[in-house]
Amino acid sequence: MELIHDASMRLLEEQGIELLSAQARQLFKQAGAEVDETSGIVRGPRELFMEALDHAPETFVLTPRNPDKALEIGANNIHFGFVSGPPNIHDHVNGRRPGNLKDYRKLVSLAQYFNVISLMGNQATAPTDLPANTRHLDTYRETILLMDKVFSAVPIGVGRVRDAVEMVALARGISTDALHRDPSVLTNINVNSPRKLDDTMADAAIYMAWHGQAVIVTPFTLMGAMTPVTLAGALVQQNAEAVFGLTMVQLAGPGAPCVYGGFTSNVDMRSGAPAFGTPENALANIAGGQLARRYGLPYRTSACNASNAADAQAVYETQAVLWSAVMGHGNIVYHSAGWLEGGLVASFEKVIIDVESLQTMACILQPIDVSEEEIGLAAVEEVGPGGHFFGTSHTIERYKTAFYEPLLSDWQNQENWQQAGAKTATTRATETWQKVLETFEAPALDPSRREALDDYVSRRKNEIGDGEP
């Protein structure tokens, strides 16, 4: 790890990062970095970066409109995030289609329904039926109305993150000043790897830092395309880019909550196609956690896959990176429910399949109770050699809650399963999400706050008009 750290510091010292935001370059110049205004390249000694990161908190709390769903980010906490970003939707009833607001609502409802999902990063799908310059207002409103958990601002330009900050303050019924001291919102900016940080993302991050909201900096890197083809090279570049972006956040708002992000997978070297859930992706998930901890920062990682269907491939790829995300001490695991087709699709069936395995993981992470009562030696004596435990009081007192009860798994024998239609898990998942959506009820919100949100959205839509890209 120290070799990776050292090489990434040399990268920042000798090669630097191209930074497209003038205000961000100004921050680095003031901190003593070497800034080339022609090329936009920023270089600096490692001390500059390490000192800036010293200001970043090791843990912080994000409080959504329902304070019971506040999240401590960092330490030993693991929070599973819903799929975010796909331009398309798929389910087994309606097939594949472009993202749209109606499906967006359904996806947010699913994210709200399942307790194992702690937060939503970016939009669960892009509602491509709405104008690109104002659709974030619609998705923020829908998200706040349907979900009382932490969610992410769209990290493209100051306008979009400011709208998130303002709207969450309205939803909580507090001022943006109060929100500064008690943050709610996070956003995730990507580095345009290799070595390029664009201005809309940089400026969004700076705005967030100024307002005390959380920024995740995640270099989006596919080994062989956007980084060297080696894991070591990819990790060095990821680390340099993440440290650079996080330094920018700390220079803008020293002490602002921020998160080290890793998103390093590889391409298929025969076709150039992106791949996820590969061994290389898994190793990067683990190594990213080591690097984040080296700097005392919370860690964001992901659990993705490249399958075209919610099938066995989707699951074994996802599991390889989910387990490595958790074993790597990921504090936030993005895309852990619903991601399909390398992120081009949000899949309803995959949401259900993933929730089952996230719930399983949450149970596995519970310590084993080894009290005398739980051990129950008297029950063993009572049953005797060759007997069974079904009828003992030790069993009867506990059987209802002794084991995880699955959401999707079917444990019938083959004959009964055949008679019930021989449905695979993916087929049963369709029934599960349909049932959830049929009975879903949005969490209550004070009508005056809802009105304030509606007013804000319509005022901003008027303001924006055809403007704001």
Q: CA–CA separation, 380 vs 254, rounded Å?
A: 60
- Given the rule CB under 8 A, which of 108-116, 148-156, 171-179, 396-404 is the region that contacts a second copy? 396-404
Please pick, from the candidates 124, 150, 156, 282, the single residue that binds a second copy as defined by CB under 8 A.
Answer: 282
Taking each helix axis as running N to C, give the angle between helix 231-252 and helix 46-54, from 0 to 180 degrees, rounded to the nearest 10.
60
Among positions 412-451, residues that touch a second copy (CB under 8 A) are 412-414, 417-418, 422, 424-426, 429
- DSSP readout, 442-468? PPP--HHHHHHHHHHHHHHHHHHTT--
The phi, psi pair for 376, rounded to 5°, reads: 65, 50
The piece of 59-67, 149-157, 166-174, 218-226 that touches a second copy (CB under 8 A) is 218-226
228 forms part of the interface with a second copy (CB under 8 A): yes
Residue 383 binds a second copy, judged by CB under 8 A: yes
Choose between 8 and 139: whose C-beta lies nearer to a second copy: 8
CB of 182 to a second copy, least distance (A): 35
**CA–CA separation, 325 vs 341, rounded Å?**
20
Judged by CB under 8 A, the chain residues 322 through 381 that form the site for a second copy are 323-324, 327, 341-342, 344-345, 353, 356-357, 360-361, 363-364, 366, 368-372, 374-377, 379-381
Q: According to the binding rule CB under 8 A, does residue 76 interact with a second copy?
A: no
Residue carrying the six token digits 């921050």: 27
Q: Is 36 in the site for a second copy (CB under 8 A)?
A: no
Cα separations in angstroms, 373 against 114, 349, 394, 403: 32, 40, 9, 17
Whole-number Cα distances in Å, 301 to 68, 151, 217, 281, 322: 24, 16, 11, 10, 9
What's the token pair of residue 302?
């992901």
Which of 66, 77, 128, 192 contacts a second copy by CB under 8 A? Answer: 192
| Residue 3 touches a second copy, criterion: CB under 8 A | yes
Which of 274/443 has CB closer to a second copy?
A: 274
Q: Residues touching a second copy: how many (CB under 8 A)? A: 117
Residue 22 binds a second copy (CB under 8 A): no
Task: State yes or no: residue 94 binds a second copy (CB under 8 A).
Answer: no
Instruction: Quickly list H helices, 56-149.
Output: 101-113, 135-146
Binding span for a second copy by CB under 8 A among 68-76, 106-114, 176-184, 230-238? 230-238
Q: Which of 80, 177, 78 is nearest to 119 (CA)?
A: 80
247 lies in the binding site for a second copy (CB under 8 A): no
Bridge partners, 339 (sequence order): 346
Q: Which residues fall within 8 angstroms of residue 95, CB to CB, at 6 or more apart?
A: none
Our CB check for a second copy shows the closer of 15 and 176 to be 15
Binders of a second copy among 95-124, rule CB under 8 A? 96
Verify binding: residue 310, a second copy, rule CB under 8 A.
yes
298 binds a second copy (CB under 8 A): no
Decide if 147 contacts 443 (C-beta within 8 A). yes
Taking the C-alpha atoms of residue 236 and residue 8, their distance in angstroms, rounded to an integer, is 5
Residue in 315, 333, 337, 453 binding a second copy, rule: CB under 8 A:
315
398 contributes a contact to a second copy by CB under 8 A = yes
Q: Closer to a second copy by CB, 196 or 293: give it.
A: 196
Q: Are 113 and 81 in contact (CB under 8 A)?
A: no
Residue 279 within binding range of a second copy, rule CB under 8 A: yes
The 3-state DSSP class for residue 268 equals coil
Tokens at residue 367, please?
């310590």
The letter for the amino acid at 52 is A
**Binding positions for a second copy, 124-183, rule CB under 8 A:** none
In the complex, minimum distance from the CB of residue 52 to a second copy, in angstroms, rounded to a whole number = 21
Please list the alpha-helical segments (H only) found in 95-198: 101-113, 135-146, 158-172, 176-181
Q: Does 77 bind a second copy (CB under 8 A)?
A: no
Closest CB 273 distance from a second copy, rounded Å: 5
**Could you give the CA distance from residue 125 to residue 105 in angstroms, rounded to a whole number?**
10
Please choose, from the candidates 6, 3, 35, the residue with its C-alpha nearest in 3D space to the C-alpha of residue 22: 35
> Among residues 36, 54, 410, 451, which is the contact residue for a second copy, using CB under 8 A?
410
Closest CB to a second copy among 139 and 218? 218
